[in-house]
Each structure stands twice: as C-alpha cells, then as structure tokens.
Amino acid sequence: MQLKTSVPAIIMFALLLGACASPAEQARYRAQEQARIDARAHNYCSGELGLERGTQAYANCRIQVEQLRQQRVARDNAQRQRAGKALMDLGNKISQCGISGQYC
C-alpha cells in the first residue's frame, strides 16, 4: 500500500528539486546556455558554411538556425509534457488499484 502515495510523491520531489537554484545561479546558467547556443550557431554559419559575420547571408543563416532551434525546443517540450502526463496517469492508476484492492 505504500506504493500508492510514493509514486506521486516521487514525481513532486523531482519537480521541486529543479527549483533549488538561486536566481543568480539560474541567470548564470541561462547566460552560459545562451553563449553555447550562440557559439554553435556561429560555428555552423561561419565555420561549416563559410559565411562572414556582418553579411546578409550570415544574418539569414543565424535566423534560420534560431528558428530551427526553437522548433526543436517546442517539439522536445511537447514530448516531455506527453511523457509527464503518461507518468501521472500511471501513478493515478497505481493509486486507484491500491485503494480499490483490485488486481490491475
């Protein structure tokens, strides 16, 4: 019977754990992540495609790279939401089985 309360509790604990960073740490992480994103985009447009910074072609490349990144982020977020919902549904089913005493 311990299982019926531990599954939702574990999910909540994992979610809360991510909120432990201070605002300064979160800002530093976001700045570092943005620097990595910028470096990857620059390396692709300049290094792989040979476009020069300051040109229209380089600017267009950076815009396209950013649009693709945003699409990937949106797709990944939607996938995470579906996985989270499936996990919560599973936790609810386990809880209901434990409460009713049914074999599920």
pLDDT for the residue numbered 20? 77
pLDDT for the residue numbered 1? 35
pLDDT for the residue numbered 99? 62
Kindly report whether the global pTM for this prediction surpasses the value 0.85: no
List all residues 6 or more positions away from 62 whose beta carbon is below 8 Å from its beta carbon: 41, 42, 45
d(CA 84, CA 89): 9
**Where along the chain do its domains lie?**
21-99
| Residue listed under structure tokens 């950076």 | 62
Mean pLDDT, consecutive 10-residue segments, the chain of 104 residues?
Answer: 47 60 89 94 96 97 96 93 89 72 60
